[in-house]
Every structure is written in C-alpha cells, then in structure tokens.
C-alpha cells in the first residue's frame, strides 16, 4: 500500500494518469526484487529489462491522500517476453487496471529471457 501525494494529482484533483504507470513500475520492481532479481542485478549481468507495451484503463478517480493498493499478476510468459497485469484499489474499490509487456535485451538486441528469470516467473503464471 502507498499513499498518494499532492504532487501526483492534476488540476482536477485526481491522480494524474501518468502516475498509474509509476505505480505499476514500483510494484513490478518490488516484485522482481522479492524474487532476488532487482533491475540492478540484470544490469550487472549486461541485460536490460525493457518495456515494449503499456496499457491502463481508468475506472474511478484516485485522489490526494488516498491509500492505494496495487496488485500484480503475471499474465503471460514466453522465452522472449513476459506481461504483468495490475489492479489499483482504494478501500477495496477497483480504481484502475493495466498491463505492461517486457522483453530483455543485451547489447541493444532482444535475447531469450535469462534462465533464472524464466524459471522464477514460471511459477507465477496466472496467479494473482
């Protein structure tokens, strides 16, 4: 859970649409860290995890000082890419949902997912 700050809102008082993608990124980064695979470890090994597609559907506004809960699930996994689905809720009410798709590159070119990443992600496909 995380509280929305004033600087994250727009002129209408809603959380600005771009900040949903920040929530997705924070959640994704912490999930990978929980697997023992923070972005810094990929970079140390010469890999980059890159975003190739991003989508968000805004259902209800989120406001300053709301305590949001972002959930992540692994929606798709192949040897070349993976996709996470997200939900953003406040007090159990669904406010937004989204999806991001990623691949891994090395020396500027797409490569198969590193074995350790693929194996760790495999156990999460389709789970909330």
- Which amino acids are annotated catalytic? 10
Give the distance, in angstroms, between the CA of residue 100 and the centroid of all CA atoms in the same chain. Answer: 6
Give the distance, in angstroms, between the CA of residue 103 and the centroid of all CA atoms in the same chain. Answer: 13
Where are any strands of DSSP class E within the chain? Answer: 2-3, 47-58, 67-77, 81-90, 93-106, 109-111
Phi-psi region of 40 (alpha: psi -120 to 50; beta: other; left: phi over 0): alpha
The DSSP annotation for 19-49 comes to HHHHHHHHHHHHHHHHTT--HHHHHHTTEEE
Query: Would you give the DSSP letter of residue 114?
Result: P
């Amino acid at each position: 859970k995380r509280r929305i700050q004033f600087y994250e809102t727009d002129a209408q008082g809603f959380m600005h649409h771009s900040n949903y993608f920040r929530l997705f990124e924070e959640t994704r980064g912490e999930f990978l860290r929980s697997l023992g695979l923070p972005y810094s470890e990929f970079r140390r090994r010469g890999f980059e995890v890159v975003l190739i597609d991003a989508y968000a559907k805004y259902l209800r506004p989120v406001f300053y000082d709301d305590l949001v809960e972002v959930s992540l699930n692994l929606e798709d996994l192949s040897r070349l890419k993976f996709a996470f689905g997200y939900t953003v809720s406040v007090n159990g009410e669904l406010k937004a949902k989204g999806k991001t798709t990623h691949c891994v590159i090395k020396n500027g070119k797409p490569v198969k997912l590193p074995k350790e990443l693929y194996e760790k992600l495999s156990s999460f496909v389709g789970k909330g």
